[in-house]
Structure 1
Amino acid sequence: MSTSPSGQPIRVLVAEDHPAVRSGLVALLEAAAGIAVVAEAADGPSALAAAREHRPEVVLTDVRMPGATGIEITPRLRETGARVLVISGFDLDASVLGALAAGADGYLVKSEQPARIVQAVRDVHGGDAVLSPAATRTVVAALHERAPEAEPEPVGGPPRFTRREEEVLALVARGMSNQQIARELFVEVTTVKSHLGHALDKLGLESRVQAALWWSRHRS
């Protein structure tokens, strides 16, 4: 069960303008062990006000809301100390790039399995960057279209990975979270993080999205 460092449930704010969808998300998260929904909001300004008042650790926000979009409020939500998980009803919504550029910690689509949404909240709270497979494909495809210099090249030629590092990178490129990779490889999440960290160091990269792009270009 995931909790805050204090041992208390993870404090979550749900921002969604459709009442039925918001109620469903709140019910889903409230039923999950170690998570407490501390506030709800139906538009951008209300989400900001709620974040400043209730100080959630994670904000689950729709990408499109009245007043201000989830993307527009993401930088200000981050200023409150919250991690931001953006959710959208569109599988290949181009706004995924805007959300990540604004500082979002993750991007999911609403068609995800409920358990995946719950786990994403836990992963983001724990410091993981979470992308749905569809969002990962969108990011990788968009980055492919950019200038080659946008992708840092490792110093000293192609890196030499261990077998486990290669397995982890391949699964990252498929959009899997650390938790999912751990289950796939029958190892601990800390082991996945260690292998991914070593691989990023060898590549001279900083994020799992950059690693997914590198893998898709050089090993897929």
Structure 2
Amino acid sequence: MGDPDPFVAIVDDDESVGRAIRRLLRSAGIGADAYLSGEEFLDTLSSMPSYRPDCVILDIQMPGLNGLEVQQRLGGSGIPVILITAHDDVGVRAQALASGAFGYLCKPFNDSLLIKTVQAALGIAPAP
């Protein structure tokens, strides 16, 4: 029996962005769930102990808990975090990476770059 398929959680308050990323990842053979808020994602994580994504993609700017706050709450979980944002800020980027983010991408990002970043976070060799 092989390893289960990799699975990513996407947290973005823009439903269309979450849907697009989920579709893109699935096209690369990576399963995904989308959440509209950091609170919704963290609630699922705490209420279902067996639920553990292999990677989390977090939007930085969201109402309620922002991506950096969710990243902080995931600290020590060992789950790789990729932050995405439409408003690049050098200070925020530095804070995210210093806090252990695996990646930091600016919207709109190139689809292949996102897939390569997720594959690297998951330890998957990219397809030739």
TM interval, short-chain normalised: 0.7 to 0.9
RMSD over equivalenced CA pairs, Å: 2.3
Q: Which residues of structure 1 form unaligned runs of 5+? A: 1-5, 128-178, 184-220
Establish whether residue 102 from structure 1 lines up as the match of residue 96 from structure 2.
no
Question: In structure 2, what is the equivalent of residue 22 of structure 1?
Answer: 18
Q: Say whether the 8 Å CA contact 1:63–1:69 is kept in structure 2.
A: yes
Inter-partner Cα distance in structure 2 for 1:32 and 1:80: 25
Instruction: Report what 2:79 is aligned to.
Output: 82
- 1:123-202 matches, cutoff 5 A: 123-126=120-123
Equivalent residue for 1:49, pick from 25, 43, 55: 43
**Which of residues 13, 34, 44 is equivalent to 1:40?**
34
SS of 1:17 mapped into structure 2 = coil
The TM-score, its normalising length taken from structure 1, stands at: 0.50
Match of 2:27 in 1: 31
Give the superposition deviation at 1:57. Answer: 0.9
The separation in 1 between residues aligned to 2:12 and 2:31, in whole angstroms, is: 17
Alpha-carbon separation, structure 1, partners of 2:34 and 2:70: 15
Cα separation, 2, equivalents of 1:20 and 1:120: 20
Q: Kindly state the Cα deviation for residue 111 of structure 1 after the two structures are TM-superposed.
A: 2.2
Cα distance 1:121–1:51, how it changes in 2: closer, same or farther (>3 A)? farther
Return the offset for 1:96. 0.8
Shift in CA distance, 93/50, structure 1 to aligned 2, threshold 3 Å? farther
Higher helix share: 1
Q: Distance in 1 between matches of 2:43 and 2:98?
A: 22
Among the aligned pairs, what percent are the same residue?
29
Please, what TM-score do these two structures have when normalized by structure 2? 0.82
Which of the two has greater strand per residue?
A: 2
SS in 2 for 1:7: coil
SS at match of 1:94: helix
Which structure has the bigger radius of gyration? Answer: 1
Amino acid at match of 2:69: E
> Could you tell me which residue of structure 2 aligns to residue 7 of structure 1?
3
Is the contact between residue 75 and residue 102 of structure 1 (CA under 8 Å) also seen in structure 2?
yes
Measured against aligned partners, the alpha-carbon deviations of 1:127-169 in whole angstroms (never above 9, x if no partner) come to 9xxxxxxxxxxxxxxxxxxxxxxxxxxxxxxxxxxxxxxxxxx
Task: Name the SS for the 1:79 alignment partner.
Answer: coil
Instruction: Note closer, same or farther for the CA distance 1:47–1:79 as it changes in structure 2 (3 Å cut).
Output: farther
* Letter matched to residue 43 of structure 1: S
Measure, in 2, the Cα distance between the counterparts of 1:112 and 1:40. Answer: 18
Contact 2:37 2:65 survives alignment (8 Å) = yes
